[in-house]
Structure 1
């Protein structure tokens, strides 16, 4: 009876749903988990292969955990939650992270930081929220170890060859990290230039090891 009077719309496709829900069943089941990964670092692959291109070039992180492909449902969901207030969206992130297995032993978990000007434009910072959920789930201390000192262009607006230059020098460590094992968290990975730059800064400031967790990544074009 209540569902006939009170109803909501799926925030991705707009269809009518139960007023207690956030997404319809079709969209909820459309998040696409990653199957194949690099044997060395865990980088997601579309087809089965031993090593990824990152392991054949220079990277500063050791292990990578990425859970979902950045398909149309994930894109619309992430875009919506960044600019709309609602603690209920936390439950979707908790569901998406429920089957995540992170075997590493870390001293701290830290998000890729946003420039302070972007915090005024976005209601929710997914990297921060994901970090806190993982921190609670695994009992890893949550701390902001990096500061974004340069307001760069959005990476997705840069051409592939511009992304490393765009992000260079954008981050600074907040403290000496000597001997610490750190899990660096971001929401969406594009080419990996941002997480590689953050990993480099953490290592240069004494970190013993940096691993990376991203919720989602776009498929190679």
Structure 2
């Protein structure tokens, strides 16, 4: 049974590889609308029109949530400041950005991590000294075969010429966060992580694919701050609005 699963995964990866590199030999077309991409385009896989879907929009620099204009700290963060200092993101969880996250996470299209990092890295104006990522429990990592946040983090670190280290371990398996409200997510993650090595820098960035309530990174931030880190930033692809307590 295990061999059959491995063979199936290898065939799936080969099919994606052939599709990707066969496409690379053809004239450049936008992956979203299929229109031609100009030779001088900033991105080689999105046309000028579709790049508008992933263009920067006004957000609070502290929490990363949408705001009418760019602000360093929104009213909510003034009242209840998060444990991190800055959120850098590409956009909300909506097409076409969400489809790229989905392809990486659930369809094993590993090369999407490089594309997502290509969108995220230029927005990081004050990079941290060290990049790490949100960990998976070993059972989920074994089942999925990879950690999508780590893949994005490695690509961002490469683009920013920064070191990457695994700093955390998820020591308790938790139920999926999806569908839970903020309070339920906090309870679900209590005691789920530990720091696995000392941190000798003052500024660390944690990479996650999607940031919603921030419950996961909040626990990780506390571990870093308790260990002597002075400032923690969050790098994510999608920043989504938080569900209400009644959701």
Give the TM-score category using the shorter length: 0.7 to 0.9
Mapping for residues 1-221 of structure 1, pairs under 5 Å = 19-20=22-23, 24-26=31-33, 28=46, 29=50, 31-38=53-60, 41=62, 43-48=64-69, 50=71, 51-97=74-120, 99-104=122-127, 106-177=128-199, 179-219=201-241
Identify the structure with the greater strand proportion. Answer: 1
In the aligned structure 1, how far is the partner of 2:170 from the partner of 2:21?
40
Q: Could you state the TM-score of these two structures normalised by the residue count of structure 2?
A: 0.71
Aligned length: 205
- Shift >4 Å, 4+ stretches: none
More helix by share: 2
Q: Conserved in 1, the CA contact under 8 Å of 2:135 and 2:168?
A: yes
Q: How many Å apart are 1:120 and its aligned residue?
A: 2.2
Alpha-carbon distance in structure 2 between the residues aligned to 1:176 and 1:88: 31
CA distance in 1, matches of 2:168, 2:222: 11
Give the Cα separation in 2 of the matches to 1:102 and 1:49: 14
Q: Which moved more, 1:142-151 or 1:123-132?
A: 123-132
Partner secondary structure for residue 36 of structure 1: coil
Unaligned runs of 5+ in 1: 1-10, 12-16
Secondary structure in structure 2 of the residue aligned to 1:24? coil
Aligned-pair RMSD on alpha carbons? Answer: 3.0
